[in-house]
Structure 1
Amino acid sequence: MDRLIYTAMTGAKHLLEQQTTTSHNLANATTNGFKAQLDSFRAVPVISEGLPTRAFVVDATVGTDFSAGGIQQTGRDLDLAIQGKGWLVVQGEDGVEKMTRHGSMKINENGVLQTQNGLQVVGEGGPITIPPEMTIAIAKDGTVSAIPMGSRPNAVQVIGRLKLVNPPENNIVRGDDGLFKTKDGVIPDADPAVNVINGALELSNVNVAEAMVNMINLARQFEMQMKLLTNAENNETKASQILTLS
């Protein structure tokens, strides 16, 4: 009897947690550069002094769906989308280099290139500072150039180059701040093979229809686990009645 209770109870608990993950993915369906989180279940035996006859369910986070999202043209000079594999390196709030696919940037009051959230964009030679009264252009390889307003296009001044990296996906983890990092915390050197598309942003890779269907399936599975608990309670009540009569 208690074997059924262990399985149903922990299954219902972690189904709720998986619903939270699905809800989080749906909430970020319109967030540029967002990568969907993936979960799965696994059975873990209950360690006790008796025989290992009982198990409970654990919701194991498999990782992240790294498939590319769609590309939306914005025409904005400070927007970029990573073409294919690769990441844009930014400096997190804790001062550590981290990775993102969200390429919407701005220039702060000091002329430093930042993300829309105020995180400093990392260049291969350090921070990228934009001189005032300049028109910005970002090349395919991440080179940031500036043209003085009112000047001819041939008066181009190279400001720096964005740090674009491409570590193995099995070495990438998502942080609590939504940014990505390597498992050892060390961001690799720039990869010249990573290209960007200027004037565009990558959309979220969350499939809204698939996520909605998943939420419905999870709700039905939760109801099934609760019915199992109810059946276990009814069986225990009937067993107690029989033992009382005997």
Structure 2
Amino acid sequence: MDRALYIAMTGAKNNMAAQAVRANNMANLNTAGFKADFEQSRSMGVYYGDGQPTRAYALTESPQADFESGPMQTTGNPMDVAILGEGLIAVQAPDGSEAYTRAGNLNIDASGTLRTANGLAVMGNSGPISLPPMDKMEIGSDGTISVIALGQTAETMVETNRIKLVKPDIKNLEKGPDGLFRQRDGLPAAVDASVRVASGVLEGSNVNAMSEFTQILSLARQYDMQLKLMKTTEDNASASAQLLQMS
């Protein structure tokens, strides 16, 4: 009886973990550049010494993110950029390490540092991009940043830096709790000149609301099934105890 109880318990626990993944996807339905997380469940045999497993517990894991492009939205804002096809924008994570994102809604802070909407410094040729006071800025298709300095004319537009655009192997990428991608080997990705961006365009989230909602309902039914199995196990244990008392 106890084995059935533990098996059902692991099933219910991992159903909740899968629900958390799907709920996070739904919560980021309108987050620019967000990539939906997959979740999958499998049985994990329990071994005691040599021989065959005595039982199989449930295990839920998130093996990879969905790298399909999200819908492109024309904003007309020169600070918005969207990657066309494969590729990522390099940013400086809060711990100082290099990480990657598809979120291209950029802004310039009071000190002139180019940042993402959540405050991460955008990486350039030699570290975080710092820009001078300006009247106008343009971002080219290769990530090149050109500016017209404050008080100057259009003829004085000059290139000041270039956004670091990378295209690492997605098999070597992992998504952290902060939503940023990093290489599994811990090394920074190399600049890839083939990556292109569109200015004045923003990539939306690639979350499919209908699919996520359907999965949430399915997981809820599975969770109820696991709870019913736990209740049945409890009832069987009580009936067995009564039979032993009668004998």
Does the alignment pair 1:5 with 2:21?
Answer: no
Q: Using the alignment, how far apart are the partners of 2:40 and 2:158 within structure 1?
A: 51
Does the alignment pair 1:53 with 2:54?
Answer: yes
Q: Using the alignment, how far apart are the partners of 1:54 and 1:90 within structure 2?
A: 45
Does the alignment pair 1:32 with 2:32?
Answer: yes
Q: Which stretch of structure 1 is more off in the superposition, 148-157 or 186-195?
A: 148-157
Q: Using the alignment, how far apart are the partners of 1:42 and 1:49 within structure 2?
A: 22
- Report deviation, 1:46: 2.2
User: Which residue does 1:19 correspond to in 2?
Assistant: 19
Q: Which amino acid letter does the alignment assign opposite residue 16 of structure 1?
A: M
Q: Which amino acid letter does the alignment assign opposite residue 44 of structure 1?
A: M
- Report deviation, 1:244: 4.2
Whether the 8 Å CA contact 1:91–1:121 is kept in 2: the answer is: yes
The equivalences for 1:146-161 within 5 A come to: 146-148=147-149, 153-161=154-162
Once the two structures are superposed, residues 211-234 of structure 1 have per-residue CA deviations (whole angstroms, 9 ceiling, x without a partner) of 111111111111111111111222
Give the secondary-structure state (helix, strand or coil) at the position aligned to 2:91.
Answer: strand
Whether the 8 Å CA contact 1:6–1:55 is kept in 2: the answer is: no
User: Which residue does 1:241 correspond to in 2?
Assistant: 242
Does the alignment pair 1:225 with 2:222?
Answer: no
Whether the 8 Å CA contact 1:167–1:188 is kept in 2: the answer is: yes
Q: Which stretch of structure 1 is more off in the superposition, 227-236 or 168-177?
A: 227-236
- Report deviation, 1:52: 2.6
| Ranges in structure 1 where 5+ consecutive residues have no aligned partner | none
Q: Which amino acid letter does the alignment assign opposite residue 21 of structure 2?
A: T
Q: Using the alignment, how far apart are the partners of 1:123 and 1:205 within structure 2?
A: 26
Q: Using the alignment, how far apart are the partners of 1:116 and 1:236 within structure 2?
A: 56
Once the two structures are superposed, residues 39-76 of structure 1 have per-residue CA deviations (whole angstroms, 9 ceiling, x without a partner) of 11121122336963222111122221111101111111
Q: Which amino acid letter does the alignment assign opposite residue 63 of structure 1?
A: Q
Q: Using the alignment, how far apart are the partners of 2:135 and 2:127 within structure 1?
A: 20
CA distance change for structure 1 residues 165 and 235 in 2, over 3 Å: closer, same or farther?
same
Q: Percent of aligned positions with the same letter in both sequences?
A: 41
Q: Which stretch of structure 1 is more off in the superposition, 201-210 or 103-112?
A: 103-112
Q: Using the alignment, how far apart are the partners of 2:48 and 2:231 within structure 1?
A: 26
Q: Using the alignment, how far apart are the partners of 2:235 and 2:180 within structure 1?
A: 48
Q: Using the alignment, how far apart are the partners of 2:241 and 2:114 within structure 1?
A: 71
Whether the 8 Å CA contact 1:145–1:159 is kept in 2: the answer is: yes
Q: Using the alignment, how far apart are the partners of 1:238 and 1:117 within structure 2?
A: 57
Give the secondary-structure state (helix, strand or coil) at the position aligned to 1:205.
Answer: coil
Q: Using the alignment, how far apart are the partners of 2:54 and 2:190 within structure 1?
A: 50
| Ranges in structure 2 where 5+ consecutive residues have no aligned partner | none
The equivalences for 1:1-246 within 5 A come to: 1-48=1-48, 52-148=53-149, 153-246=154-247
- Report deviation, 1:149: 6.3
- Report deviation, 1:144: 0.6
Whether the 8 Å CA contact 1:89–1:98 is kept in 2: the answer is: yes
Question: How many positions carry a matched residue from both structures?
Answer: 246
- Report deviation, 1:26: 0.5
Q: Using the alignment, how far apart are the partners of 2:222 and 2:177 within structure 1?
A: 28
